[in-house]
């Protein structure tokens, strides 16, 4: 349910306010109930503009979540508050906010409950450079605590420079991302994980009739030893006819899950200090056919090779820990039929084999 209104302010008839209220409720399998409420407003006074947003959410399930990163086994409930604000100046903007979440997890066998508190804050800065370029930088801090027995602290930062966009030259972005996370448990060893990425990307540029998006990065993880590789993402589309578009996607990615969500539950999960990042290479080729203005069909084939695939295993103490199980190869076909019933109502059917 959403309600949006635009009306003049009582203090200044020239100032515009745009309050937005949003409320949603969902009920699914495993007796899961969740709701989310948020409110946002944007206001402009003279040449300065600012906005804010805050929200409340709750998620509860009486069933078991199997094999997920946040809770491998158990019932759970989550309550949270979040808020942020943005101030826009002439040549730069400042965005900052914070959130607070309480996660209660009930173990399926012993019935033991653990309460995890998660607090985070962030600050982002966007600066306009004369000539049309832009510079963005930000920092994010996160702290998670469970019953005074374990805690995880994480910090990440990024820096991004973007060139101006013109009709002849698409924008090019160059940036870096650095993050570090440390988990400490009472009576056990600490767990440290670091990540860095140096990347360059460009979007919406053309070679003849082919539309391209490209990203190249050097990504690395440090988990005891440092593992790094060159990653890439290339997306191409070719409008063969007015009703037919061919598409191709190639991606190579290095991935290692963070520790605070997976390994902090010492009652039923264990730390794996020898866990290696998994590396995957995916290729997807397909096309879209627009049968009419309201009906379209998309078909594609995909293949993915994964080395050092990460899954859940058991230890000698019957604890669950993430482990590398070797190589995994995926191959399949995806079909999707899309039909626009009205301008605001769309139905689609997908089949993946």
Helix, coil or strand: residue 260: helix
Give 1's pLDDT tier (boundaries 50, 70, 90). Answer: very low
- The CA distance from 347 to 60, in Å, is 29
DSSP for 17-34?
A: E--EEEEEEEEETTTEEE
Give 27's pLDDT tier (boundaries 50, 70, 90). Answer: confident
Lowest mean pLDDT among 4-13, 56-65, 81-90, 273-282: 4-13
pLDDT tens digit sequence for 278-324: 999 999 999 999 888 888 999 999 999 999 998 888 776 667 778 88
Give 4's pLDDT tier (boundaries 50, 70, 90). Answer: very low
Q: What pLDDT does residue 42 have?
A: 76
Instruction: Evaluate if residue 43 carries a pLDDT over 60.
Output: yes
Residue 68: which H helix or E strand, with range?
Answer: none
With a pLDDT cut of 70, the percent of the chain lying above it is 76
67: tokens are: 């094999």
For residue 6, count other CB atoms closer than 10 A to its CB.
9
Q: Which residue has the higher pLDDT, 336 or 39?
A: 336
Give 220's pLDDT tier (boundaries 50, 70, 90). Answer: very high
- The CA distance from 120 to 145, in Å, is 12
Instruction: Evaluate if residue 19 carries a pLDDT over 60.
Output: no
DSSP for 274-315?
A: TPPPEEEEEEEEEEEEE-SSSEEEEEEEEEEEEES-EEEEE-
Q: What pLDDT does residue 280 have?
A: 95
Q: What pLDDT does residue 29 have?
A: 58
Residue 312 in contact with residue 304, Cβ under 8 Å?
Answer: no
- The CA distance from 297 to 336, in Å, is 6
- Tokens 């450079």 correspond to 129
Q: Are strands 16-17 and 310-314 parallel, antiparallel or unpaired?
A: unpaired
Give 247's pLDDT tier (boundaries 50, 70, 90). Answer: very high
129: CB partners within 8 A, 6+ apart: 135
Residue 258 in contact with residue 307, Cβ under 8 Å?
Answer: no
- The CA distance from 195 to 215, in Å, is 18
- Residue 269 is classified by DSSP as B
Q: What pLDDT does residue 189 have?
A: 55
Instruction: Evaluate if residue 89 carries a pLDDT over 80.
Output: yes
Distance from chain centroid for Cα 184: 25
pLDDT tens digit sequence for 49-84: 788 888 898 887 765 544 444 444 556 678 889 899
Give 276's pLDDT tier (boundaries 50, 70, 90). Answer: confident
Residue 100 in contact with residue 81, Cβ under 8 Å?
Answer: yes
Residue 31 in contact with residue 63, Cβ under 8 Å?
Answer: yes
Q: What pLDDT does residue 12 have?
A: 35
180: tokens are: 């570090």
Q: What pLDDT does residue 9 have?
A: 33
What is the three-state SS of 183-235? EEECCCCCEEEEEEEEEEEEEEEEECCEEEEEEEEEEEEEECEEEEEEEEEEE
What is the mean predicted confidence (pLDDT) over 112-141?
A: 87
pLDDT tens digit sequence for 135-164: 999 999 988 887 666 778 889 999 999 988
Please name which of 117, 136, 122 lies closest in space to residue 175, comparing C-alpha atoms.
136
């Amino acid at each position: 349910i959403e309600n949006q209104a635009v009306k003049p302010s009582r203090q200044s008839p020239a100032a515009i306010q745009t309050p937005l209220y949003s409320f949603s409720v969902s009920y699914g399998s495993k007796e899961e109930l969740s709701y989310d409420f948020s409110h946002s407003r944007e206001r402009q006074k003279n040449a300065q503009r600012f906005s804010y947003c805050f929200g409340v959410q709750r998620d509860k399930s009486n069933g078991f979540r199997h094999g997920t990163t946040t809770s491998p086994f158990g019932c759970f409930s989550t309550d949270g508050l979040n808020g942020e604000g943005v101030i826009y100046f002439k040549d730069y903007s400042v965005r900052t906010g914070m959130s607070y979440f309480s996660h209660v997890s009930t173990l399926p066998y012993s019935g033991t409950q653990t309460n995890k508190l998660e607090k985070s804050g962030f600050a982002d800065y966007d600066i306009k450079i004369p000539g049309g370029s832009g510079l963005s930088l930000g920092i994010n801090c996160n702290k998670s605590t469970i019953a005074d027995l374990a805690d995880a602290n994480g910090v990440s930062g990024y820096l991004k420079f973007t060139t101006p966009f013109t009709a002849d030259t698409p924008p090019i972005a160059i940036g870096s991302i650095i993050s570090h996370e440390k988990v400490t448990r009472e009576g056990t060893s600490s767990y440290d994980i670091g990540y860095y990425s140096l990347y360059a990307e460009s979007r919406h540029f053309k070679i003849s009739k082919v539309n391209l998006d490209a990203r190249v990065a050097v990504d690395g993880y440090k988990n005891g030893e440092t593992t790094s590789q060159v990653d890439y993402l290339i997306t191409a589309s070719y409008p063969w006819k007015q009703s037919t578009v061919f598409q191709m996607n190639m991606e190579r990615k290095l991935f290692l899950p963070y520790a605070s969500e997976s390994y902090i539950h010492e009652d039923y999960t264990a730390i794996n200090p020898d866990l290696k990042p998994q590396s995957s290479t995916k290729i997807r080729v397909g096309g879209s056919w627009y049968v009419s203005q309201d009906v379209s069909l998309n078909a594609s084939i995909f293949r993915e090779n994964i080395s050092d695939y990460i899954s859940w295993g058991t230890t000698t103490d019957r604890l669950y820990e993430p482990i590398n199980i070797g190589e995994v190869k995926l191959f399949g076909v995806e079909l999707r039929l899309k039909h626009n019933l009205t301008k605001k109502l769309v139905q689609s059917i997908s089949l993946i084999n």
